Amino acid sequence: MAMPGTADRDAVSPATAPPAEQHKHDGDRDIVEAERAQSPELLKSGQNYDKMDKELAQYVAEGRIEISEEENTRLRRLIDRRVLVVMIATYFLQTIDKGTMSFASIMGIREDAKLVGQDYQWLTTCIYITILIVEYPQNFIIARVPIAKYLSFSIMAWGAVLACTAACKNFTGLVTVRTLLGLFESVCQPAFVVLSAMWYKREEQAARVTYWYMMNGAQQMVGGLLAYCFSLITTGPLKSWQWLFLAYGIISVFFGAFVGWWMPDSPMRAKCFSEADKRLMVERVRANQTGIQNRKFKKEQVWEGLTDPQAWGYALIQLCTTLPTSGLGSFQGIIISGFGFTVLQTQLLAMVLGAYIIIVLLSSSWLVKKTNQNLLVMLGFVIPSFIGTICLMTVPLNNLSQKVGLLICYYITLSFWSAQTLALSMVSRNIAGQTKKSVVVALNFIIWSTGNAIGPQVFLTWDGPRYFIAFATHLGCYCLLVIVIVGLRFYLVHMNKKRDALAAAGVAEAKDENMVHAFEDLTDKENPNFRYVY
């Protein structure tokens, strides 16, 4: 077993990889060869460098390297400074950019752009229709280009589009820039799922996804405060909502340029790290068994991704959570002001909602870390959503105490958001094979965008300000969410039991502590040594 200090010596090229089965007796060799004929992708005692990405193979050690906890912590901190910081800041910018329309809705944009009927709803829906269309092409590109550079370009592009929103005077102009915004922002979340699997160990990924995803809450807090400040602008050549879009757009352009300079594309291309550290960063994610990169397209993995029940389970979780969040996010200002609060009070009350979202996401991540029960934690956080929604539909709005009570119910309704975050982290941890991962991530965000596109449309203008039809639809989503979570848990537990049975029966490939096939771009189904988190 090699130690960390020997990482450079352990990294071998395909030409120097040892031949498989060289120590087996002649009597065993016939059995092994017969098994190999049945499952040629798996039954090898050594790593097959020909199946690895050529760039990655240069950094993969011949045998598993034990990395001390101190060294692991040091490496993780290096990665956090270069990767996690960028993901958090980028997602914060994206959420605050999207949130501008909600804040602008009560700052005069509907009147200035002469929006009528469902026009305002379509300004959110068009973003997600665009994402639905471009999601798979974007995931195909993400898997084959320098990911940090592509993310940098996308951030600068959406910043420019956002700034142009300030010049729009009617529905046509707004729907055009919002459609382009969806095109460029569609890169962000899929890229983060790939980056999480590329840089972080399995047990680290749920927390990292939570850190960048909780920027939805931070956006509510900071966005509410900034929107309050912009609302105070009452004179000058531009309206307050125009200054809002222009300022956020310019900041995004400059930040996008910074991302291209600061963030490495992969551990192998990270010029900011030493060669020894780069090898150890590759080695530390061996146990994930989900690989780092492989640019070869494998059509069999496409089919597996489309027919895998867990892929559809994650996608349905996205549908059941994004449909409510999209509508609640787009209409938060209208809903809160509908409880009888002024514009400035509404902007400030959005900050409390942001704090609650952060508490929900951090506490759910902490519970997962303590219990290792992702899906049961999801179920627990759906319960407050049922309670809050039922109260919003039944409690009358007659006095101040009822207004405050309904506001609190609106806050706790968003507890289900933890399911959306944890499901994304499970995609990065449970899906192996780079082509399969790109398909499953694309499927996830196609359904995610479908939910986001439908969400604002269930808030019918004539049904305001209480929107009973919308909240009844949300209750249906929560019921389906419970069914999907329970079904997904039964399926993943069953799959792990089957693999444990193989290991107990003496199948070496189902109990390989050295994880020699971890970087060979095998899917989670092709690799019997893979175990699912649930």
266 part of a folded domain: yes
* Among 131, 134, 125, 124, residue whose Cα is nearest residue 100: 124
* Cα separations in angstroms, 310 against 142, 484, 488: 22, 10, 6
Q: What is the CB neighbour count within 10 angstroms for residue 498? A: 11
Mean pLDDT of the chain: 84
| pLDDT exceeds cutoff 70 at 339 | yes
| Residues 78 and 208 reside in one and the same domain | yes
Are the beta carbons of 510 and 529 closer than 8 angstroms?
yes
Q: What is the CATH number of the domain that holds 399?
A: 1.20.1250.20
Are the beta carbons of 194 and 143 closer than 8 angstroms?
yes
| Residues 266 and 158 reside in one and the same domain | yes
**Chain segment 397-406, per-residue pLDDT in tens:** 778 788 788 8
Structural domain that includes position 242 = 74-286
| Residues 111 and 242 reside in one and the same domain | yes
| Residues 319 and 247 reside in one and the same domain | no
| Residues 96 and 165 reside in one and the same domain | yes
Are the beta carbons of 427 and 190 closer than 8 angstroms?
no
Which pTM does this prediction carry?
A: 0.78
| Residues 185 and 264 reside in one and the same domain | yes
| Residues 277 and 318 reside in one and the same domain | no
149 part of a folded domain: yes
**Chain segment 485-517, per-residue pLDDT in tens:** 999 999 999 999 999 998 888 887 788 777 777
**Chain segment 43-100, per-residue pLDDT in tens:** 444 667 767 777 787 887 777 788 888 999 999 999 999 999 999 999 999 888 777 8
95 part of a folded domain: yes
**Chain segment 289-335, per-residue pLDDT in tens:** 887 888 888 999 999 999 999 999 999 999 999 999 877 876 666 77
Q: In this predicted structure, what is the pLDDT of residue 143?
A: 85
Are the beta carbons of 514 and 1 closer than 8 angstroms?
no
Question: Helical H runs in 214-308?
Answer: 215-231, 240-262, 275-283, 299-307
Are the beta carbons of 331 and 125 closer than 8 angstroms?
no
Are the beta carbons of 325 and 383 closer than 8 angstroms?
no
